[in-house]
Amino acid sequence: MVDVVVLSEDLLAQMAGYGRTLVAFSGGVDSSVVLAAAVRALGTGQVAAVTAVSPSLPAAELAAARRFCADLGVAHHTPATDEMDVPGYRENTSQRCYFCKSVLLDTAGSLAGELGFATITTGTNASDVVAGFRPGIRAAAERGARTPLADAGLDKAAVRAIARHWGLLVWDKPAAACMASRVAYGISVTPARLARIERAETAVRAVLGGTARDLRVRDLGDTVRLEVDSDLVERARDDRAVGLAIRDAGFASAPIRVETFRSGSMNDLLADSDTRE
pLDDT in tens, 93-141: 889 999 999 999 999 999 999 999 999 999 999 999 887 678 899 999 9
pLDDT value of residue 275:
39
Q: What is the mean pLDDT of residues 83-102?
A: 92
**Which fold is adopted by the domain 179-269?**
Alpha-Beta Plaits (3.30.70)
Q: What is the pLDDT of residues 168-209, one digit of tens each?
A: 999 999 988 889 999 999 999 999 999 999 999 999 999 999
What's the pLDDT score for residue 44? 97
Rg (CA), the chain: 19
From the list 124, 171, 130, 174, the residue with the least C-alpha distance to 152 is 124
pLDDT score for 47? 98
pLDDT of 277 above 50: no
What is the model's pLDDT at position 270?
60
d(CA 48, CA 92): 31
Q: Has residue 268 got a pLDDT over 90?
A: no
pLDDT at 130: 86
Our CA dihedral for 212, 129, 92, 120, rounded to 10 degrees, sits at 100
pLDDT above 50 (res 273): no
pTM over 0.85: yes
Binned at pLDDT 50, 70 and 90, residue 276 comes out as very low
- Please report the pLDDT score of residue 131 as a whole number: 73
DSSP for 210-249 reads: T--SSEEEEE-SS-EEEEE-GGGHHHHHH-HHHHHHHIII
**pLDDT for 1 beyond 60:** no
DSSP state of 251: I
Average pLDDT score, the chain: 92
Q: Do domains 4-172 and 179-269 have the same CATH topology?
A: no
For the cut 90, the answer to whether the pLDDT of residue 2 exceeds it is: no
Domain range list for the chain: 4-172, 179-269
* pLDDT score, position 253: 85
**Domain boundaries 4-172, corresponding CATH code:** 3.40.50.620
